Structure 1
Amino acid sequence: MIAHRETLQRLLGELSPRVCAASLVALRRRGQYELFLWFASPAAPTVIVEAHFRAGLSTVFCRPSTWKEPERTVPWAEELWGKRLVHLELHPTERQLRWVLETGQELLFFLYGTAQSGVLLRERDGQIRASLGAPRAVLEKLADAPPRRLPGWEEYPAETPLVRALAQDRHQLGSFYAHELCQRCGIAPDTPLGQLSEHERERLRQMLSEFCRELTESSSAFLFRRPEGPPLVSLLPLRGYSEPIAVFCSISDAVAERVRQTLLWEEFRRERLQLQQRLERHARQLARWRQEAEQCLHHAPVSERERLWGNLLLMQPGLHERGRSEIVLPDWEGNPQRIPLDPAKSLRENAEAYFQRARRRDEAGRRARHNLPLLQEREHFVHELLAQLQQVTTRRQLREIAQRLQELFPPREMTTRTGERLRVFHLAAGFVLYLGTDARSNEALTFRFARPHDVFLHVRGTSGAHGILRGPRKGELPPMPILEQAAAVVAYYSRARSASLVPVLYTWRKYVRKLKGTLGAVRLEREQLVWVRPLPPTASESP
C-alpha cells in the first residue's frame, strides 16, 4: 500500500518521536492481519499505532485521536506489555520496520503489500515467539535480509518498458510515481528502454533527480481519487489525477484516512458483488421461466391432438378392453392416427388420461399467455438494474438498486422470533401468505405469529403446512380469486399435492383451537371449504 520508500521514511519520522522511549502498554490483535499497539509516556497522551498485514493493505500509522478505541480485539504477546520501546528503524532496502524494546525483544513488521506481509515477535536470542499475517516460515526467511543492490533504471534490459524500469529503480518509485515521471518527461510509459534517444535519457536523469528532491522536501501528503478502488496517497501533486480530495500536513493522518476509505471501499465492493450475484440469479431464473412459458405456448397443437385421440378412443367398441400398446384409428377426415396406449389401462382409461393431459396443457398455456409478457418485462428490468450496477460508485446507489430489486422480488422466507422458518408469498392487492415448514413452525405460525383476524388455511383430512393469509386491512376477507390462489399454494405444500382437486378449509385465526398432545394439531370452528387444484407458488402467483 505504501508505494514509495520515501513515504515509509516520512511515516517513520513521524512515529519515532511519539513512541520511542514510551512504554508499550498493550498489544492487541483483530484477526490474523490487524495489530494495535498502545504507547504511553508521562509527558504525552497515549498513542495507538495501528498496523495491517494483508495483501493490498499492509501499512502502519498512528490512529487519529478522533477515532474511537479499536473494537473486537484480543490480547497478543502479553510478555511485551509494560516494556519500553528504545529504537525504531527501517531496513536499508526492504519495507521492514524493526521495533526494539528495552529487553532486547523485537517486533519485525513486513510491509510489502503482498501475501508476504506480517509481523514476527523475536526474542533477544533470535527465537521466534509469535507471528501474524503471512506464515511464520515465510516471514523467517525474510527477516534480517541483507541490503540488496538495486539497479538503476538504465541497467535493465533494452526491451524493458520504461515505467517498469523506473518503478523498480534503486529509488523505488513504485508504479504511480513512475507514471508521473513519464508524464512530466513527455515519454510514453510503455516505451522500451532500447528505443529512448540520448536526449530523452538525459531529460529522464535530470527529471528523476529533481523528482526525488521534491519527494524528500515535501511537507504535505495528498489524497487522490482513483477511477476504481480506494484513494491514493502521494507526497506530491500528480498530473494524471484531478484535484486532490484532501491534503494533510501529517503523512500518518493521510495513511489513516486512506485505510479508512479502503475498508469502506472493500465493504462497498462486497455489497456490490452480492447484489450483482442476486441480480444474475434472478435473471437466470426469469430466463428459465420465460423459456418454459414459451414452450407451453408451443404445446397447443399437442393438446389438440391428445383431445382428438381421447375422443377417437371413446367412439370405439370394447371400451373396457386392456392389453393393447397402440391402436390405429381414422380421424374426422379419414387420416390414420397411431395412438400409443398404456396396456394396463382400458380404452376408456386411456382416453381419460389423454383428456387430463390436454386439460393440463391448456391450463399451462393459459398461465403462459398471462405470465409471458410480465416475465419478459421483469427480465428486461433486471438486466437494466445489472447495467446500472456497473455505474454505481456509492453505497447509497447500491441501496437504491437493492430496494428496487426487493420490491420486484420480495423475500420468500422469514424467521420468527423463536427461530422457526416460515415461507412467505406476496399475493395481489397487498395480501401476504405465510406457510409453516414443519410441525413446530406450524404451531409458531398459528399461535404466536398470526393475529386474530388473519385467515387460517389447511388441507382437510391430511397433514400439511398451516397457512396464514394476512391482508392490508384488519378483518378484511380476501376476494375469492386471492383466497383460491392461497389455498392452491397450501394444497401444494401438503401430502395431497398430487391430487387433481383438494379440499382446503379456511376460517379466521381466532376460531382455531390448539389440541393438546400433538405438535401443530388444531381444531377449527366456523370453517368454510374451497376446492382447488394444487399449484406451486410460481404457477399460482402472478409474476
Structure 2
Amino acid sequence: MLVNYLTLFHAARLLHERYARTVIAEVYSQEKNTLSIVLYAPEPHTITVRCGARENALIARSGTSRTHKNTVDLFPSLIDRHIESVHMLASDRAVIISLSGGLRLCCELYASAANVVLCDMDGTVTDAFLKKKETVGLRRPYPLVPQPVTENDILPAREEFIRTLTALSAEQSDPRRALKKCAPKLGTILADEIVFRCGITGSSFTETDTARMADAAAGLVRELLLPDRITPSIYFDERSPVALTLIPLQHLAPYRREQYDDLFTGITRFISFGRSESSVLQQKKTYVQWLQKELEKAERTMRAVETEMNDASRAEKYQQYAAAIMANLGMLTKGAAAAELRDPLNPDIIIRIPLESSLTPQKNAERYFEKAKKARSGREESRERLRMLERRTAALQSVIENSKQITDSISLKNFIHSNGSMLKELGYMTEQEHEALPPFKIFTVEGGFTVYAGKNSANNDLLTFRYARPNDLWFHARGSSGSHVVLKLGTAPGEPSKKAVEQAASIAAYYSKMKNAKHVPVAMTERKYIHKPKGAPAGTVALDKEKVIFVQPLLPEQKE
C-alpha cells in the first residue's frame, strides 16, 4: 500500500497539518528520481517525493540531509514561498501543494509516469522535475479549490457496485480482480481483505456474494478514511516485509506485525526493508553466478585431466618399447622407421614399435625411456591435480548449497561470516577482504544485530579493548572462565530487543565452562564500565557496573 490512494490521502492530510504556512527554503535532488523540498517549520523539515518506476512514495521528516555533493537545485521559483495547503486529488493519485502566489506543486505518483510539476493559476505547467521538455506548457486541469475525499470518490454507488459485481460473477471472474475493476483505488491488499472478510475462499464468487462484498468494501473504506483509526504497520514473513497497511488487516494476521506511531516512519521503514531485501537478493545472485561459473570450470578441467591421465597410462607401453629395443640392439640398424620385436617379458608376443629413422637404435631406446619417465611423472601430477579439483568442486558445491539459505540481510551476513575462509580459498574474496572480517566467532541475533565471541584469552582482550565501542553490550559467564561476548550496537536499526540481549547472554554461557548447566548467570554491562587491572593476565577484566541475567547455554541457531 505504499502508493495506495488511501495511503497518499493520509500522507497529504499529515503534510497539511504539519506544514501549512511554512516556508520553502530549497528544492534539490541528490538521488535519481527523488526530489527533496526543505522547509522551515520553524526547524528544518524535508518532504521527499520518490518518482522511481518501482518506488513511488511521499515522505516527510524532520531535519535535512543534503550533502552538497552531486546535488542539483531545482524549482528556483519556489524558494521563500509559503505552503498554503496540501490536499489529495479526489480523482487520482496526485497530491497538490498549494503555494503563495497562486502556484501549485503537483506530486503525480503514477508509477512509471510519476513526476512533480509546477502549475500556474491557469493550470499550465511552468516547470517539471522529470521530462521537462515534454511536460512544460501542458495543462493540468486540477481544481483550484481543495475537494474533500469521500467514500464515493473511492467506491461506486452501492447499487452500481452490486450490479457490476453481479455481471462479473457470471463470467467466473476472480473476486479480487472484480473488486479492483469496480473500484481501482482499492488496490490488491484491500481487495484481499474484503474477500477474506466475506469468507470467499475460491477463485470465483456467486451473485449471492456481491452484496456482502459491496458492504464489506464500504465498511473498510469508511474505517480507512477516519484519521483516528490509522495505525501504520508493516507485516513481515519472518524478516521479509509483506505489506505496509494503515490499519490492522485480518487476512494478514498470521504474519508478524510491527506498528509505528507515524505514517511517514512506516513508509520510510518499508522502503528501507524493501531496498535491503533487493540488495541482498542481488548480492546473493552475484555470489551464486560466480560460484556456478567456477564449478562449471572445475568440472570441465576435471574431465580434461582425466583424459590426460588416460594418455599418461602409456608409460608402460613406452617402457615396453624401450626394453624391447635394448634386448634386440644387435638386430636393429639406424634408418628404420619401425621394428617388429618380441616383448622381453612375454616372448610369444610380437610388438610393432615406431622408430625415429634419424636416430640409432640406442637413441630410440633412450627416447622411449624418457617418454615413459615423463608419462609416469605426468600421471602422478594429474592424479594430484584431480584430487585438488575434486576438493575444489566439493567446496564449491557446499558453498552453493549454503547460499540457498540467504533470504535477508541477516542470513547474508551469516553466510559471509560462515563461508569467508572458503570464499577466500576459492578465490572470490581477496586476502584483504578476508582479513577485514573480525577474527572472532560471529553470530547474528534477533533484529539483525551482530555478536562477537572471543576465541581465547588474548582474543578476548582484543575483542573487549580494541573492537568493542563504549556503548556496546558486553557479556561474560559469571564466576566461570569463558569467552568475552560483545553485542555490537549500530549493526542493525534501533535498539536490541530483550530477546537479542538474552541470545547474546546465551552465547556467553555456551562458551564457558558452565555450558552443560541448565541455567547460567551471565554478567552484562556496557563496554565503558570494563577496565583491565594492572598486571592482570590476558582475558582478565574488572567490571565497575553489571547486571546479572540467567539464561540457557545456547547458540542462536540452536533450539531449546
TM-score range (shorter-chain normalised) is 0.5 to 0.7
- 1:275 equivalent in structure 2: 287
Query: Cα offset for 1:354?
Result: 5.5
Percent of pairs with identical residues: 18
Asked if 2 retains the 8 angstrom alpha-carbon contact of 1:163 and 1:182, the reply is yes
**Are 1:169 and 2:179 counterparts?**
no
Determine helix, strand or coil for the equivalent of 1:107.
strand
Determine helix, strand or coil for the equivalent of 1:255. Answer: helix
Q: Is the 8 A contact 2:3 2:56 kept in 1?
A: no
3-state SS, counterpart of residue 83 of structure 1: coil
- C-alpha distance in structure 2 between counterparts of 1:342 and 1:102, whole Å: 102
Separation in structure 2 between the aligned mates of residue 169 and residue 81 of structure 1, nearest angstrom:
42
Residue number in structure 1 paired with 2:25: 25
1:531 maps to which residue? none
| Distance 1:260-1:308 versus aligned 2 partners, 3 A rule | same
Deviation, structure 1 residue 344: 8.5
Whether 1:219 and 2:227 are equivalent positions in the alignment is no
Cα deviation, residue 15, structure 1: 0.9
User: What code does the residue aligned with 2:300 have?
Assistant: R
Q: What displacement does 1:224 show?
A: 0.7
Residue 410 of structure 1 aligns to a residue whose secondary structure is helix
1:88 is aligned to 86
Three-state SS of the structure 1 residue aligned to 2:43 is strand
Looking at structure 1, the residues matched to 138 and 367 of structure 2 have their Cα atoms a distance apart, in angstroms, of 77
1:205 maps to which of 195, 203, 214: 214
CA distance in 2, matches of 1:352, 1:139: 87
**Do the aligned partners of residues 370 and 170 (structure 1) sit closer, same or farther apart at CA in structure 2, a change above 3 Å counting?**
same
Where does structure 1 lack aligned partners over 5 or more consecutive residues?
418-543
Tell me the equivalent position of 2:198: 185
Question: Where does 1:373-452 land on structure 2 (aligned, <5 Å)?
Answer: 373=387, 375-410=389-424
CA apart distance, 1:144: 3.5
Q: How many angstroms does 1:415 deviate by?
A: 9.8
* 1:416 to partner: Cα distance: 12
Higher helix share: 2
Q: Are 2:114 and 1:117 equivalent residues in the alignment?
A: yes
Contact 2:155/2:218 (<8 A) preserved: no
Give, in whole Å, the separation in 2 of the partners of 1:26 and 1:403: 44
Aligned counterparts of 1:70 and 1:363: Cα–Cα separation in 2: 67
TM-score by length of 2: 0.61
Q: 1:293-304 alignment to 2 at 5 Å? A: 293-304=305-316
Structure 1 residue 162 displacement after superposition? 1.5
1:374–1:22 CA distance, 2 compared to 1 (3 A): same
Report how far residue 25 of structure 1 moved: 0.6
Name the counterpart of 1:9.
9
Q: Residues 362 and 178 of structure 1: is their aligned pair in 2 closer, same or farther, counting only changes over 3 Å?
A: farther
Tell whether 2:260 aligns with 1:248: yes
* Whole-angstrom CA distance in 1 between matches of 2:121 and 2:343: 101
Q: Distance in 2 between matches of 1:173 and 1:319?
A: 100
Distance 2:100 2:358 in 1: 94
Deviations 1:273-321 (A, max 9, x none): 2222333233334333433444444444333334434555666677764
Deviation at 1:163, TM superposition (A): 1.4
State the distance in 1 between where 2:387 and 2:180 align: 57
Stretch of structure 1 that moved more, 181-190 or 331-340: 331-340
Amino acid at match of 1:273: K
For 1:203, the aligned partner's letter is: R
Structure 1 length as normaliser, TM-score?
Answer: 0.63
Q: 1:349 to 1:262 in 2, by over 3 A?
A: farther
Conserved? CA contact 2:277–2:408, under 8 Å: no
Q: Does 1:75 align with 2:72?
A: yes
Secondary structure of the residue aligned to 1:63 is: strand
Cα deviation code 1:143-171 (max 9, x no counterpart) = 73899998756265824322122234325
Residue 220 to residue 365, structure 1, CA distance change in 2 (3 Å): same
1:286 to 287, 298, 304: 298
Question: Does the 8 Å CA contact 1:49/1:60 hold for their aligned counterparts?
Answer: yes
Please, which of 259, 276, 288 is the counterpart of residue 271 of structure 2?
259
Is 1:232 the counterpart of 2:238? The answer is: no
Contact 2:240 2:277 in 1 (8 A): yes
**Cα distance change of structure 1 residues 413 and 89 upon mapping to structure 2, 3 Å threshold:** closer
Letter of the 2:411 partner, please give it.
Q
1:319-361 alpha-carbon deviations (Å, 9 max, x no partner) = 7648x5x776665556565666778888777766655554444
Report the Cα distance in structure 2 between the residues aligned to 1:58 and 1:28, rounded to whole angstroms: 17
Q: For the residues of structure 2 that align with 1:378 and 1:25, how far apart are their CA atoms?
A: 60
Report the CA distance shift for 1:74/1:146 in structure 2 as closer, same or farther (over 3 A): closer
**Retained in 2: the 8 A contact 1:233–1:255?**
yes
- Pairwise CA distance, 1:263: 2.7
Q: 1:136 to 1:362 in 2, by over 3 A?
A: farther
Deviations 1:416-457 (A, max 9, x none): 99xxxxxxxxxxxxxxxxxxxxxxxxxxxxxxxxxxxxxxxx
| Aligned residue pair count | 405
Task: Give distance in 2, aligned partners of 1:338 and 1:181.
Answer: 89
Secondary structure at the counterpart of residue 89 of structure 1: strand
- Contact 1:51–1:59 (CA<8 Å) still a contact in 2? yes
Amino acid at match of 2:400: L
Specify the SS of the correspondent of 2:197. helix
Stretch deviating more after TM superposition (172-181 or 364-373): 364-373
